[in-house]
């Protein structure tokens, strides 16, 4: 059974004219309780030493978790904001795509915690990140 507030599809996720679009992040799958997205390892996401920038990995993780959190709430009444994120960078990526899969750890009324595992083209874990989102009432 889906945890999403509505019957959302990937097409409902808007990335146009945002940092998400600039980094080439694309949401590719919505499962019943997870969001999957990809990001290219290219000049937009590499650090000066030719490897995936840790900040780009964090941007992918926060993007997927923010979408996931948003998809669980009534958007007429609430919005979600990130309040804390951490990441462990475990392996380098030099080319191709990295793929993040974001799943809930806790979904409460006022806070949510999501975990994103980012893998390279070979399925190897590149980064694992955890974010806390706060659910705020719209005023």
Whole-number pLDDT of residue 46: 98
Whole-number pLDDT of residue 68: 98
Rounded average pLDDT per 10-residue block, the chain, 139 residues = 95 90 97 98 97 98 98 96 98 97 97 98 98 97
Whole-number pLDDT of residue 34: 98
| Positions marked active-site | 62
Q: How far apart are the first and last CA of the chain?
A: 31
C-alpha to C-alpha distance for 48 and 107, rounded to whole angstroms: 38
Segments in the chain forming alpha helices (H): 19-23, 54-71
State the CB neighbour count (10 A cutoff) for residue 138.
Answer: 9
Hey, what CATH topology would domain 10-137 get? Thiol Ester Dehydrase; Chain A (3.10.129)
Tokens linked to 99: 């793929």
């Amino acid at each position: 059974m889906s945890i999403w507030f509505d019957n959302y599809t990937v097409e409902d996720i808007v990335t146009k004219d945002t940092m998400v679009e600039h980094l080439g992040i694309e949401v590719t799958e919505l499962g019943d309780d997870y969001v999957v997205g990809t990001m290219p390892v290219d000049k937009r996401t590499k650090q000066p030493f030719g490897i995936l920038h840790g900040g780009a990995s964090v941007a992918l993780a926060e993007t997927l978790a923010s979408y996931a959190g948003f998809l669980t709430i009534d958007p007429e009444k609430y919005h979600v904001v990130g309040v804390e994120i951490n990441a462990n960078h475990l392996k380098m990526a030099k080319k191709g795509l990295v793929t993040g899969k974001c799943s809930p750890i806790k979904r409460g009324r006022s806070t949510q915690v999501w975990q994103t595992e980012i893998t390279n083209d070979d399925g190897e874990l590149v980064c694992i990140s955890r974010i806390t989102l706060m659910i705020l009432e719209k005023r």
